């Protein structure tokens, strides 16, 4: 594992120990991103691509919340954003079929769930087998679901972190690709701990994408 010190000086551990420099895909990887809110993970992937650190291209962003800031971020990077409001679909399967259709129209190879706050169905998973990744703010399998940071604080663990994993039907499950461990400090609140975890999310997500490129 590699030790890393972010701006605030708090150490973290990242595993596996790889870098973007030695794990670049041989061909441009065509990404589809799903987001429901602020879109900070979309932003970090787009910036890694723009800086030449990740040999990929975001083909399209799908967002389900009309007020999601992720759509604004996509526009700033010249990425097409498609609103698929989940409220317009009677069944989750109907929404997922439309997601699959949209990704296929844009020639997407790898799907990145970057803060997608909806459960998905087998319709989406079967369309992109082992090609959908999710990022979650805990060291899975601990603290699945919502309020993962709050769960960590309530339980009193001394170490938490974030996980990038392949998507499976069961919520926050599937083979783990990469994790970053973050210490819980005595005076942490949900806000301060989440902020430090998010630093690590932004660190490992581009690495995890690159590691999957030639699978």
Task: List binding-site positions for (6R)-10-formyltetrahydrofolate.
Answer: 92, 117-120, 134
**C-alpha span between 78 and 62 (Å, rounded):** 14
**C-alpha span between 124 and 112 (Å, rounded):** 12
Active site annotation includes 86: no
Annotated binding site: 39-41, 92, 117-120, 134
* Strands of the 81-83 sheet, one edge to the other: 2-4, 12-15, 176-183, 159-166, 132-136, 110-113, 29-35, 56-63, 81-83
HEC string of 72-87? HHHHHCCCCEEECCHH
Q: CB of 200 within 8 A of CB of 169?
A: no
| Peptide bond between residue 129 and the one before it cis (omega within 30 degrees of 0) | no
Give me the catalytic one of 77, 86, 106, 136.
Answer: 136
Contacts of residue 144, Cβ cutoff 8 Å, sequence gap at least 6: 136, 138, 171, 172, 173
Q: Which residues are part of the catalytic machinery? A: 136
């Amino acid at each position: 594992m590699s030790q890393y010190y972010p701006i605030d000086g708090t150490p973290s551990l990242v595993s596996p120990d790889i870098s973007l420099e030695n794990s670049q895909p041989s061909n441009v990887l065509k990404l589809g991103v799903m987001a429901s809110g602020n879109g900070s993970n979309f932003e970090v992937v787009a910036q890694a691509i723009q800086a030449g650190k990740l040999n990929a291209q975001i083909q399209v962003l799908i967002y389900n919340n009309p007020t999601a800031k992720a759509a604004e971020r996509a526009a700033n990077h010249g990425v097409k954003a498609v609103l698929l409001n989940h409220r317009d679909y009677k069944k989750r399967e109907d929404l997922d079929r439309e997601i699959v259709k949209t990704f296929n129209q844009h020639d997407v190879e790898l799907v990145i769930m970057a803060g997608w706050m909806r459960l998905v169905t087998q319709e989406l998973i079967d369309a992109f087998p082992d090609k959908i990744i999710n990022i979650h703010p805990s060291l899975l399998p601990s603290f699945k679901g919502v309020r993962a940071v709050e769960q960590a604080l309530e339980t009193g663990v001394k170490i938490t972190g974030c996980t990038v994993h392949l998507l499976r039907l069961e919520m926050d499950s599937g083979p783990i690709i990469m994790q970053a461990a973050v210490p819980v400090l005595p005076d942490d609140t949900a806000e301060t701990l989440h902020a430090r975890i998010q630093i690590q999310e932004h660190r490992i997500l581009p690495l995890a994408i690159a590691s999957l490129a030639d699978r």
